[in-house]
A and B are shown apart, each in its own frame.
Chain A
């Protein structure tokens, strides 16, 4: 028991000393099968928000609806919103029809084996999102979504874009 407590303390102490969440480079296919690299998106943008979602996740769909408006508002100022789909084999066939029917225009990438989700320290709860700046630093992480959270996310995006 002592060893375990000591080990946990060591791990937590290390966490306190370490930098926050890690930037994780990836190349994933979009809904049409084109490979898309994160580094290319970051190079073209000032702020990038990655949001992990699935078709069965109700708060994910609420967040996506709100983020679609925010994306339209700030995309001209260097903001990019990327939805990374974590549907597994049983529901992945519905992703394209859902996105197209909703009329969403932001990029949707397929992270079916959840490797990128794991790369950004995602656990069970969704939606899970990270905001990345031009220097490839993680400036914010969000787990879950409640009605009204979009206001906080928007203020973070505005601050990162330097909009007052």
Chain B
């Protein structure tokens, strides 16, 4: 009832302020409704599945002050923990002339490229590291002719983090963050950040209290057509003794990321390098609930290409931020305004191999040192992964568009105890897209994707194919209808199916209100966003999405 009164007061204030004080009052409202009904396959069994989610975001601005809130009904939620009530609320004051920004309540924050602080939300993954607290920032520029720009920021608050793999497991972090940036000359920006957090990390039988200290330094430099960025963060985590960790641990780790980009007319390239060692440890200690691992509000760049193709996105590289070294090289070449080529080469591996030196049933791992651990290795003991992607895009005319790509990935997931059972995988994919506009409003789109997979861990058929054909007709600006047919020659799908058909119709009532309905079978598989990966279960049934803005 208190929450209800809060909402009523919140909105009544707008009307009262508008009527009596003649303030500049504006309001905006977004609503997202999702409903689904069908069956979901869990461990080979088809179970009934129904979800209803309604997310309402409201914002009210009174001059320079913004009030915001989100009312959420997830009963039942599609993936995660059910919820009903006010999930987020905040008040914000910003004044660009003075350079002040203040926010109290719920917010997310990224500093630099996120090595020490990158809290964000992804509802699809049930990932939310939102901070409930306060944030204050101040910008000031000294001088006019050769201005020196400075910015300081402080935030403090609490993060309640539901483990996206085991949603009922909740970690708590009380954090304090101080940040300072200075730009002494136009082309140089230097920043320093410090995060201190007190955390509570539950495991199956215990909860571990931790304290973490994460200093970070970063900088951007632009020289002519070159732009460089580099960032280094060090993390120390101290644990308080308990049954799981009887002796106090002082775990130290670090991460380095840099990028170099060069761009001129028609050509641009970017080279990314990552060296993440936030929690180097033996294979038997790795785990999503390990208290000394990289903390959930840290989220550095993955330095791998994110694919839009359906079949390619089914085979993502799962980045291990605690132990991974690698990089990517990306080239964009546009010889004219009709043609664009993209080349992406990426590689990654673990830093070290671990040998079992125990005898009998006793397992004792010993790290095998490697002098070149700052570069990725193709040695299978280091779980290497590499990818080569090339794409050509052609706007043949106002009516015809074509895109053809080729991707090759090769990976090993090394089994330190039994190397013979290591998973080796090779995936070649050819995604294509063709679009033809018949009249000014009607467009036909065809996507055809072909994928060849070799996976050593398959028991019956190690080589198989995946194919996808998708036909879409759209009438601008309101209507689009898509039918997708996907099939595989693999016989080890969890549902036992070898073909999936899905139909989807989307209708825009106007430019800001749309309804999408889909019916059919969805294959499921690993889905990744920002390096956060989880298995999405196969689904068969009906889905409805209504998106509204007022």
Chain A residues lying within 8 Å of B7, measured Cβ to Cβ, are 7, 10-11
Chain B residues lying within 8 Å of A14, measured Cβ to Cβ, are 11, 14, 27, 29
- Determine if B530 and A90 form an interchain contact, defined as CB atoms under 8 angstroms apart: yes
* Candidates A10, A20, A88, A151; contact of B110 at CB < 8 Å: A88
* Candidates B31, B73, B443; contact of A148 at CB < 8 Å: B443
> Which of B53-61, B248-256, B460-468 is the interface stretch?
B53-61
A43 at the interface (CB under 8 A from B): no
B456 at the interface (CB under 8 A from A): no
**A contacts with B, residue count (CB < 8 A):** 62
Task: Please provide the chain B residues from 412 to 455 with a CB less than 8 Å away from any CB of chain A in the complex.
Answer: 435, 437, 440-443, 445
* Candidates B264, B474, B547; contact of A123 at CB < 8 Å: B547
Chain A residues lying within 8 Å of B514, measured Cβ to Cβ, are 143-144
B37 at the interface (CB under 8 A from A): no
- Determine if A152 and B477 form an interchain contact, defined as CB atoms under 8 angstroms apart: yes
Chain B residues lying within 8 Å of A141, measured Cβ to Cβ, are 511-512, 549
Chain B residues lying within 8 Å of A98, measured Cβ to Cβ, are 268, 332
Q: Complex: how many Å from CA A154 to CA B390? A: 33
A163 at the interface (CB under 8 A from B): no
Contact A143-B26, Cβ < 8 Å, known A33-B222, A97-B262: no
Chain B residues lying within 8 Å of A92, measured Cβ to Cβ, are 113
Secondary structure of the A contact surface, majority rule: mixed
Task: Please provide the chain A residues from 1 to 54 with a CB less than 8 Å away from any CB of chain B in the complex.
Answer: 3-4, 7-8, 10-12, 14-23, 25-27, 32-35, 37, 39
Task: Please provide the chain A residues from 60 to 111 with a CB less than 8 Å away from any CB of chain B in the complex.
Answer: 65, 88-94, 96-103
Q: Complex: how many Å from CA A113 to CA B71? A: 22
- Determine if A93 and B71 form an interchain contact, defined as CB atoms under 8 angstroms apart: no
B303 at the interface (CB under 8 A from A): yes
Q: Complex: how many Å from CA A154 to CA B127? A: 38
Chain A residues lying within 8 Å of B443, measured Cβ to Cβ, are 146-148
- Determine if A112 and B531 form an interchain contact, defined as CB atoms under 8 angstroms apart: no
* Candidates A19, A37, A147; contact of B27 at CB < 8 Å: A19
- Determine if B476 and A101 form an interchain contact, defined as CB atoms under 8 angstroms apart: no
Q: Complex: how many Å from CA A32 to CA B263? A: 12
What is the CB-to-nearest-CB distance from A130 to chain B, in angstroms, rounded to a whole number?
10
* Candidates B1, B28, B480; contact of A21 at CB < 8 Å: B28
- Determine if A148 and B187 form an interchain contact, defined as CB atoms under 8 angstroms apart: no
Contact A11-B56, Cβ < 8 Å, known A4-B84, A143-B549, A148-B437: yes
Q: Complex: how many Å from CA A98 to CA B266? A: 9
Chain B residues lying within 8 Å of A123, measured Cβ to Cβ, are 30, 32, 57, 547
- Determine if A112 and B110 form an interchain contact, defined as CB atoms under 8 angstroms apart: yes
Contact A96-B261, Cβ < 8 Å, known A22-B27, A151-B476: yes
Q: Complex: how many Å from CA A23 to CA B299? A: 31
- Determine if B56 and A8 form an interchain contact, defined as CB atoms under 8 angstroms apart: yes
Q: Complex: how many Å from CA A98 to CA B149? A: 27
B83-109: CB near A (< 8 Å → 1, else 0) gives 010000000001010000000000011
Q: Complex: how many Å from CA A12 to CA B30? A: 10
B205 at the interface (CB under 8 A from A): no
Closest to B108 in A: A113
Chain A residues lying within 8 Å of B475, measured Cβ to Cβ, are 148
- Determine if A149 and B187 form an interchain contact, defined as CB atoms under 8 angstroms apart: no
- Determine if A18 and B29 form an interchain contact, defined as CB atoms under 8 angstroms apart: yes
Secondary structure of the B contact surface, majority rule: strand
Q: Complex: how many Å from CA A11 to CA B7? A: 9
B272 at the interface (CB under 8 A from A): yes
Q: Complex: how many Å from CA A14 to CA B308? A: 38
- Determine if A56 and B477 form an interchain contact, defined as CB atoms under 8 angstroms apart: no
> Which of B161-169, B239-247, B333-341, B352-360 is the interface stretch?
B333-341
Q: Complex: how many Å from CA A17 to CA B71? A: 19
Q: How large is the interface on B (under 10, 10 to 19, 20 to 34, 35 or more residues)?
A: 35 or more
Q: Complex: how many Å from CA A40 to CA B441? A: 36
Contact A93-B269, Cβ < 8 Å, known A121-B28, A143-B547: no
B490 at the interface (CB under 8 A from A): no
Chain A residues lying within 8 Å of B308, measured Cβ to Cβ, are 56, 58
Closest to B338 in A: A65
What is the CB-to-nearest-CB distance from B114 to chain A, in angstroms, rounded to a whole number?
4
Q: Complex: how many Å from CA A99 to CA B270? A: 12
Q: Complex: how many Å from CA A151 to CA B476? A: 9
Closest to B511 in A: A142
- Determine if B334 and A103 form an interchain contact, defined as CB atoms under 8 angstroms apart: yes
- Determine if A88 and B531 form an interchain contact, defined as CB atoms under 8 angstroms apart: no
- Determine if A143 and B512 form an interchain contact, defined as CB atoms under 8 angstroms apart: yes
- Determine if A22 and B265 form an interchain contact, defined as CB atoms under 8 angstroms apart: no
Chain A residues lying within 8 Å of B262, measured Cβ to Cβ, are 97
B286 at the interface (CB under 8 A from A): no
- Determine if A103 and B29 form an interchain contact, defined as CB atoms under 8 angstroms apart: no
B189 at the interface (CB under 8 A from A): yes
What is the CB-to-nearest-CB distance from A105 to chain B, in angstroms, rounded to a whole number?
11
B267 at the interface (CB under 8 A from A): yes
Chain B residues lying within 8 Å of A99, measured Cβ to Cβ, are 263
- Determine if B531 and A90 form an interchain contact, defined as CB atoms under 8 angstroms apart: yes
Contact A94-B61, Cβ < 8 Å, known A18-B26, A101-B263, A113-B110: no
- Determine if B96 and A25 form an interchain contact, defined as CB atoms under 8 angstroms apart: yes
Chain A residues lying within 8 Å of B183, measured Cβ to Cβ, are 33
What is the CB-to-nearest-CB distance from A60 to chain B, in angstroms, rounded to a whole number?
11
Q: Lowest 3 CB-CB distances: which A-B pairs, in order? A: A97-B268, A148-B476, A15-B550
Q: What 20 new A-B contacts, CB under 8 Å, besides A11-B7, A113-B110, A143-B511? A: A8-B71, A11-B58, A17-B15, A26-B96, A33-B183, A37-B96, A88-B110, A91-B301, A94-B268, A97-B263, A98-B268, A99-B263, A100-B225, A101-B263, A102-B337, A112-B110, A121-B30, A125-B547, A147-B474, A148-B476
Please report B residues at the A interface, Cβ cutoff 8 Å.
Answer: 1, 4, 7-8, 11, 14-15, 26-32, 54, 56-59, 61, 66, 71, 73, 84, 94, 96, 108-110, 112-114, 118, 120, 123, 149, 183, 186-187, 189, 220, 222, 225, 227, 229, 259, 261-270, 272, 299-304, 306, 308, 330, 332-334, 337, 340, 395, 401, 435, 437, 440-443, 445, 474-477, 480, 508, 511-512, 514, 530-531, 547, 549-550
Sample of 18 A–B contacts (CB below 8 Å): A7-B7, A12-B31, A18-B29, A18-B550, A20-B28, A21-B549, A33-B187, A88-B114, A89-B113, A90-B531, A91-B301, A93-B270, A96-B268, A97-B269, A97-B330, A98-B268, A100-B265, A147-B443
Please report A residues at the B interface, Cβ cutoff 8 Å.
Answer: 3-4, 7-8, 10-12, 14-23, 25-27, 32-35, 37, 39, 56, 58, 65, 88-94, 96-103, 112-113, 119, 121, 123-125, 140-144, 146-149, 151-152
